Structure 1
Amino acid sequence: MRKVRVTRTGRDGAIEVGFFFKSIDQLLDPEDPSPLPERELTEFAEEYIASYLDGYSIKEIVGITIGLPQESLTPDIVALLPETIRQHFSFRIADLDDDRRVSLREGRISLVLAAFNAGVAILFVVVFAGYLDGPVAILLTGMITILNWVTAWDTYEYFIYNYRREIRKHRIYQKLAGIDIQVEGW
């Protein structure tokens, strides 16, 4: 089961969040043979920690606590786990940068397509609308209207929603790459 107990401690506008995992394999990828601190987090742990912190103002988060069963903790794990987590998120920032670069290219293409479709609509209204009559005019007007609506919506959705979400995730990963991390047993 993938349940993680989460605690939140806030004082003086600062927040510390605790993530208490059921096992070390829920946090660290059991298939990664690398020693700490090069070992990777599981996809579940990475997404869980980042998405949970997404609910807070990044500036307010001062630290996180990682809780693991006491029997799975050794002095080496306690000493190296904070750096392991920071290195993981630091490494993943490069992937997010690449995703954002590709996404920005797609956003630009959407913007060009929206401008082109708007130009086609204007050209249709100015040049051809006066010459066409009846069902053909209605059909072409409807198709051009739908085409413009779809490309405008796609462009709007990208810049207003998707790109902002990518920027926010990048900021969270940057925060996690340098945040104070405590390890404790439960």
Structure 2
Amino acid sequence: MSASVGQPACIELRLESIAHLFDPFDPFPLPSRDLAKGAEDFITGWARELPHDAPIEIVIHLPRSEAESDAAKGLQDAIARHFAYRAERVGGDVHELFRVGRLSLAIGLAVLVLCVAGGRILIGAFGDTPLTRVLAEGLSILGWVANWRPIEIFLYDWWPLLQRRRLLQRIAGSPVSIQQY
């Protein structure tokens, strides 16, 4: 499962039956049927380990009777649809994360404004004493802590989701070949 320059990196699966590739509880026929969790994890796990610039090829080894079946002819489409759908779902997760981030930011900024204003009001009402300064600073810190989550979302949380979406799109665009054994 490696690739030299210009060569596609192969992810190889050896199956006794095409049915092992798909979720047994999914009632839909090919090509809309979901892949089994183990098959999806295997493919994405290997794809994650491959060089990011190398094209991927999925090679499925099947017995002759399975390799010549109508179901085998639909594997390319089934695998492409599955991973394209997963990539679309992750894209939706990114949009949802940014929506939550915007809401969290609005709440965090409102809390920050209230805390800073509260600290100033506290100092104005009770004088600039060590106790009021400590309380005002505490309110200021509370206001900044309220912005921790939106900052975390906008700086860090979305990168892994975009990387996963790119990986799934890459797998969805990969050619699938069948080899008999």
- TM-score, reference length from structure 1: 0.73
Report which stretch shifted further, 30-39 or 49-58. 49-58
- May I ask how many residue pairs the two structures share in their alignment? 177
Partner of 2:166: 171
Q: Secondary structure at the match of 1:113?
A: helix
* Alpha-carbon displacement from aligned partner over 1:119-139 (angstroms, at most 9, x marks no partner): 233323433235265667645
Select which of 7, 12, 18 maps to 2:5: 12
CA RMSD of aligned residues (A): 3.1
Alignment partners' CA distance in 2, 1:139 and 1:80:
68
Select which of 135, 147, 153 maps to 1:158: 153
Select which of 101, 108, 116 maps to 2:110: 116
Partner of 1:3: none
Contact 2:12 2:59 in 1 (8 A): yes
- Correspondence list, 1:24-173, <5 A: 24-67=18-61, 70=63, 73-76=66-69, 77-130=71-124, 131=126, 138=134, 141-142=137-138, 144-146=140-142, 148-149=144-145, 151-173=146-168
**Structure 2: tracts of 5 or more residues without a match:** none
65 and 148 in structure 1: CA distance in 2 versus 1, 3 angstrom threshold = same
Deviating 4+ runs (over 6 angstroms): none
Q: Which one has the bigger strand percentage?
A: 1
Alpha-carbon distance, 1:48 to partner: 3.8
Taking every aligned residue pair, what percent have the same amino acid on both sides?
23
Alpha-carbon distance, 1:154 to partner: 1.2
Alignment partners' CA distance in 1, 2:72 and 2:39:
17
Contact 2:67 2:180 in 1 (8 A): no
Report which stretch shifted further, 48-57 or 159-168. 48-57
**Which residue identity does 1:166 align to in structure 2?**
L
**Structure 1: tracts of 5 or more residues without a match:** 1-7
Q: Secondary structure at the match of 2:150?
A: helix
